[in-house]
């Protein structure tokens, strides 16, 4: 059983004061992820390294799963300590390590010792040679290859003596909380959870908004969005999910505007409300799951007209250049796909016209929106005032 994990992170652009912010945010996120794994894990920051000390009898697979979802980690290495720090102690521990971790040790290897503790009586090269020899003797299927080894046995002589050879790939990106906050328009589809994931990967905290249209959209459709927000929160940390009741606005647009313009006008109102919520919650950008040309409402013209509704902040569309299959691949990998494809209606599909405009003209759309002038401000205000907030992913046992 491994005693601890060494956490590696890419340090590019993480210098001086930023380094502390980065490391502290990373530690915070590791703790957040590990709250779901039984037992007390302790984290330490020693000479510019982060270690996760594991409790006895912890769930290794679950711990690996959690760590591989933490943004900011480039790789992590499960380690054992040599409690007996003498060279004999180290040799014994390395042999034990190989026996425990390689069923039938047949590989080329080298030993790579790093001696941070200069008081240790042997230099790195001596440790390399002595441990290497012991491995060769004990396991006839192994051979030394210093140039292109299949396995590198790392020995670190520090406050502790650390032994590891496995390097598990991390999620990459930046720790959540190092890059401000954005408002994700989260629907029940495949795309927007992936867009949220990709934005969170750059260290951005995610708030989310879902436009619900009861009774045209069911409670189950809403629950599906809550579930998706929870899946996103496995990577992004707690998500503040705003549920906006969109029914009256939708009905009013339906009543007052040409039906082939309904989708685009509805989308403009979603953007406006999302922007207002973003301002109120100190978000610096909106995020959507749109990609060019995927559906009628995502032609470049439509995106142009949709975008024009937002006045005070950028709209990020991290999937803009992706094909559907590429988005599906990511959603399968991050675990949102199965939930996204559950067949509950979303509010756009119910009111869509048979032939929605695919090349909306901004002036024409603005003209149609004038038909809404009598009641729309009031309806928008009510929708925002009656916002239902669900905090997802905050506790060990989630609230919904």
**Residues near Mg ion, by CB under 5 A:** 187, 189
Interface stretch with ligand ATP, choices 36-44, 47-55, 203-211, 275-283 (CB under 6 A): 203-211
Task: Determine, following the binding rule CB under 6 A, whether residue 191 of this chain makes contact with ligand ATP.
Answer: yes
The nearer residue to Mg ion, 111 or 262, going by C-beta atoms, is: 262
Candidates 206, 290, 369, 393; binder of ligand ATP (CB under 6 A) is: 290
Helix H or strand E segment including 42? strand 42-46
d(CA 159, CA 255): 72
Place of tokens 């971790």: 101
DSSP annotation of 343: -
Shortest distance, position 327 Cβ to ligand ATP, whole Å: 8
Shortest distance, position 372 Cβ to ligand ATP, whole Å: 19
Residue 289 binds which entry of Mg ion, ligand ATP, none, with Cβ cut-offs from 5 to 8 Å by kind?
ligand ATP
Shortest distance, position 207 Cβ to ligand ATP, whole Å: 12
Task: Calculate the alpha carbon distances from 217 to 296, 383, 385, 400 in Å.
Answer: 21, 16, 20, 19
Shortest distance, position 295 Cβ to Mg ion, whole Å: 8
Task: Determine, following the binding rule CB under 6 A, whether residue 28 of this chain makes contact with ligand ATP.
Answer: no
Task: Determine, following the binding rule CB under 6 A, whether residue 294 of this chain makes contact with ligand ATP.
Answer: yes
Task: Determine, following the binding rule CB under 6 A, whether residue 271 of this chain makes contact with ligand ATP.
Answer: no
The nearer residue to ligand ATP, 165 or 288, going by C-beta atoms, is: 288
Candidates 27, 228, 285, 347; binder of ligand ATP (CB under 6 A) is: 347
Task: Determine, following the binding rule CB under 6 A, whether residue 328 of this chain makes contact with ligand ATP.
Answer: no
Residue 297 binds which entry of Mg ion, ligand ATP, none, with Cβ cut-offs from 5 to 8 Å by kind?
ligand ATP
The nearer residue to ligand ATP, 185 or 379, going by C-beta atoms, is: 185
d(CA 154, CA 130): 14
Provide the β-strand partners of residue 373. Answer: none
State CA 240 to chain mean position distance.
Answer: 15
The nearer residue to ligand ATP, 78 or 289, going by C-beta atoms, is: 289
Closest CA to 362 of 303, 291, 292, 295: 303
Candidates 30, 174, 185, 277; binder of ligand ATP (CB under 6 A) is: 185
Closest CA to 155 of 129, 127, 182: 127
- List the end-to-end C-alpha distance of the chain, in Å, as a whole number: 35
d(CA 322, CA 61): 32
Task: Determine, following the binding rule CB under 6 A, whether residue 190 of this chain makes contact with ligand ATP.
Answer: yes
Place of tokens 């009905």: 251
Shortest distance, position 187 Cβ to Mg ion, whole Å: 4
Residue 331 binds which entry of ligand ATP, Mg ion, none, with Cβ cut-offs from 5 to 8 Å by kind?
none
At residue 276, what are phi and psi to the nearest 5 degrees? -65, -45
The nearer residue to Mg ion, 174 or 244, going by C-beta atoms, is: 244
Shortest distance, position 264 Cβ to ligand ATP, whole Å: 10
Q: Which of residues 130-169 bind ligand ATP (CB under 6 A)?
A: none
Closest CA to 70 of 198, 235, 289: 235
d(CA 346, CA 356): 17
Q: Which residue is nearest to Mg ion (CB)?
A: 189
Task: Determine, following the binding rule CB under 6 A, whether residue 170 of this chain makes contact with ligand ATP.
Answer: no
Q: Which residue is nearest to ligand ATP (CB)?
A: 189
* Residue 24 C-beta-side C-alpha neighbours within 13 Å: 7
Shortest distance, position 364 Cβ to ligand ATP, whole Å: 20
Candidates 142, 233, 288, 336; binder of ligand ATP (CB under 6 A) is: 288
d(CA 287, CA 316): 5
Closest CA to 204 of 311, 313, 53: 313
**Contact indicator for 119, 157 with CB cutoff of 8 Å:** no
Burial class (CB within 10 angstroms; exposed 0-12, middle 13-18, buried 19+) of 118: exposed
Residues that bind ligand ATP (CB under 6 A): 185-187, 189-192, 209-211, 270, 288-290, 294-295, 297-298, 346-348
């Amino acid at each position: 059983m491994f005693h601890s994990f060494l956490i590696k992170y890419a340090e590019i652009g993480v210098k001086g004061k930023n380094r502390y912010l980065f490391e502290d945010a990373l530690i915070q996120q590791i703790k957040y992820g590990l709250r779901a794994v039984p037992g007390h894990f302790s984290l330490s920051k020693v000479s510019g390294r982060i270690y996760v000390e594991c409790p006895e009898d912890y769930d290794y697979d679950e711990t690996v799963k959690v760590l591989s979802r933490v943004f900011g980690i480039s790789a992590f290495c499960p380690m054992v300590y040599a409690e007996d720090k003498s060279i004999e102690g180290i040799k014994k521990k390395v042999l034990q390590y190989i026996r425990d971790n390689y069923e039938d040790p047949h590989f080329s290897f080298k030993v790579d010792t790093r001696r941070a503790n200069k008081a240790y009586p042997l230099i790195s090269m001596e440790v390399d040679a002595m441990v290497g020899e012991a491995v060769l003797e004990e396991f006839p299927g192994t051979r030394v290859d210093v140039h292109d080894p299949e396995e590198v046995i790392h020995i670190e002589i520090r406050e502790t003596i650390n032994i590891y050879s496995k390097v598990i790939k991390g999620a990459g990106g930046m720790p959540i909380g190092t890059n401000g906050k954005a408002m994700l328009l989260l629907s029940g589809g495949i795309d927007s959870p992936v867009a949220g994931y990709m934005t969170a990967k750059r260290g951005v905290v995610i708030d989310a908004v879902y436009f619900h249209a009861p009774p045209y959209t069911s409670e189950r459709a809403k629950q599906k969005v809550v579930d998706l927000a929870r899946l996103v929160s496995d990577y992004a940390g707690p998500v503040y999910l705003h549920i906006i009741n969109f029914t009256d606005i939708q009905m009013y647009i339906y009543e007052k505007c040409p039906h082939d313009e309904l989708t685009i006008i509805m989308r403009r109102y979603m953007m406006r409300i999302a922007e207002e919520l973003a301002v109120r919650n100190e978000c610096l950008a909106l995020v959507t799951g749109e990609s060019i040309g995927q559906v009628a409402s995502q032609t470049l013209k439509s995106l142009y007209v949709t975008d024009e509704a937002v006045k005070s902040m950028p709209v990020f569309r991290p999937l803009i250049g992706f094909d559907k299959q590429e988005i599906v691949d990511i959603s399968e990998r991050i675990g949102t796909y199965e939930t996204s494809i559950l067949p509950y209606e979303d509010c756009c599909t119910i009111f869509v016209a048979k032939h929605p405009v695919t090349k909306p003209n901004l002036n024409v759309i603005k003209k149609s929106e004038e038909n809404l002038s009598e009641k729309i401000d009031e309806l928008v205000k009510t929708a925002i005032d009656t916002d239902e907030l669900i905090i997802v992913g905050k506790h060990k046992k989630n609230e919904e």
